């Protein structure tokens, strides 16, 4: 069940990165539990991998155990004529779950059409698109304690969801499955939803790069991190500032380039290294700090780096000065 020295390059959307010291693909809860026990016995760090769409792995790889969840069962429980509970394993590809729901006359999750990922990764980050958050649909889940290898059924409040935030990010528990409250639908409603889903996917294909990227590399700012207001509201969208830098489709380091489609999406043109992507992201941070006095922070998960590879600011600085001498490397 446990493999050694497995390449992660072909398991992430960036198509970069080194080897996992150990690697496993559990298909049920027992195998997941056994993987955690193996890591505990060998004092290994753990990274749970989903679709690899929001991940940058170090060129040095990951010196621990990568658990690539393949728990992909899906079940339905009807509550009443209008509502259905849908439970999906953490390794279920989210696009597959949307289509399985369509096939069973269930609606709700199609708002996230076209966003790559698995159920586990989507809950981990609290998947979002425009005004929709995955936490709006999740009602309960099964998680497993990393240390005790015991399962626990939790409700929505347990996750302490926020923007790009959940309790899972403490990495003390890992998701095994999630249950969503969705809506029953007629044939006509399903046909309409399928068409809308296809249109969302078509829009995303036009608006965003579809491969060799992690999607949005930097998260949006929190309101207390910015001073600029437009129409009376804080401008929190990081892409706004990156667009103003004039670097979209232009700034490039090695084979890593900023997409011509979106200023917050970095792309591996062919044979980029993870370090080239990091260097490009640091240059974006530096230019944004110099021009606007704010420092973008990653939404992409940085895995296997011995030292934090991007620029950081001291915690006591709320609104950084572009020329602040205390800018440090993490």
Domain of residue 246, CATH code:
3.90.78.10
The last residue of a domain, from among 43, 68, 93? 68
Is the pLDDT at 300 greater than 50, yes or no? yes
Q: What is the pLDDT of residue 321?
A: 34
Q: What is the pLDDT of residue 128?
A: 87
pTM for this one? 0.91
Does residue 188 sit in the same domain as residue 232? no
Q: What is the pLDDT of residue 176?
A: 98
Q: What is the pLDDT of residue 236?
A: 96
The mean pLDDT of the chain is 93
The last residue of a domain, from among 15, 45, 68? 68
Per-residue pLDDT reduced to its tens digit, 193-230: 999 999 999 998 898 998 999 999 999 999 999 999 99
Residue 215 lies in a domain: no
How distant is the alpha carbon of residue 99 from its chain centre? 21
Instruction: Domain of residue 147: give its range.
Output: 74-207
The last residue of a domain, from among 49, 68, 87? 68
Residue 114 lies in a domain: yes
Does residue 97 sit in the same domain as residue 200? yes
Does residue 92 sit in the same domain as residue 59? no
- Beta-carbon contacts of residue 94 (< 8 Å; ≥ 6 apart): 51, 109, 112, 115, 116, 117, 118, 119, 122, 127
Residue 160 lies in a domain: yes
Residue 81 lies in a domain: yes
Is the pLDDT at 88 greater than 60, yes or no? yes
Does residue 118 sit in the same domain as residue 160? yes
Is the pLDDT at 316 greater than 50, yes or no? no
Does residue 38 sit in the same domain as residue 90? no
Q: What is the mean pLDDT of residues 146-161?
A: 97
Instruction: Please give the structure tokens belonging to residue 328.
Output: 């440090």
Is the pLDDT at 277 greater than 60, yes or no? yes
pLDDT band at residue 318, thresholds of 50, 70 and 90?
A: very low
Does residue 30 sit in the same domain as residue 143? no
Is the pLDDT at 324 greater than 80, yes or no? no
The greatest distance separating any two alpha carbons of the chain, rounded to the nearest whole angstrom, comes to: 62
């Amino acid at each position: 069940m446990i493999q050694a020295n497995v390449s992660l390059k072909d398991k992430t959307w960036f198509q970069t990165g080194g080897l996992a010291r150990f690697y496993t693909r559990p298909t049920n809860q027992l195998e997941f539990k056994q993987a955690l026990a193996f890591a505990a016995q060998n004092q290994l760090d753990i990274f749970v991998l989903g679709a690899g769409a929001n991940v940058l792995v170090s060129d040095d790889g990951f010196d621990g155990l990568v658990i690539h969840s393949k728990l992909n069962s899906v079940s339905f429980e009807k509550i009443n004529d209008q509502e259905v509970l849908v439970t999906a394993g953490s390794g279920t590809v989210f696009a597959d779950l949307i289509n399985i729901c369509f096939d069973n006359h269930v609606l709700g999750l199609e708002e996230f059409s076209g966003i790559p990922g698995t159920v586990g990764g989507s809950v981990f980050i609290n998947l979002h698109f425009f005004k929709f958050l995955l936490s709006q649909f999740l009602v309960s889940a099964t998680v497993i304690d990393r240390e005790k290898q015991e399962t626990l059924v939790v409700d929505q409040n347990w996750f302490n969801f926020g923007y790009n935030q959940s309790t899972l990010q403490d990495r003390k528990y890992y998701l095994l499955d999630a249950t969503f409250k969705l809506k029953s639908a007629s044939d006509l409603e399903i046909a309409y939803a399928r068409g809308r889903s296809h249109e969302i996917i078509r829009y995303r294909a036009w608006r965003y790069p579809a491969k060799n990227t992690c999607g949005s590399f930097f998260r949006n700012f929190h309101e207390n991190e910015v001073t600029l207001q437009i129409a009376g509201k804080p401008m929190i969208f990081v892409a706004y500032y990156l667009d103003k830098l004039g670097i979209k489709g232009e700034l490039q380091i090695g084979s890593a380039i900023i997409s011509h489609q979106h200023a917050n999406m970095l792309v591996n043109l062919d044979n980029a290294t993870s370090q080239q992507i990091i260097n490009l992201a640091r240059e974006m941070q530096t230019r944004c700090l110099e021009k606007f006095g704010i420092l973008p922070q990653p939404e992409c998960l940085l895995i296997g780096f011995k030292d934090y590879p991007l620029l950081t600011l001291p915690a006591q600085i709320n609104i950084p000065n572009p020329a602040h001498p205390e800018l440090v490397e993490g």
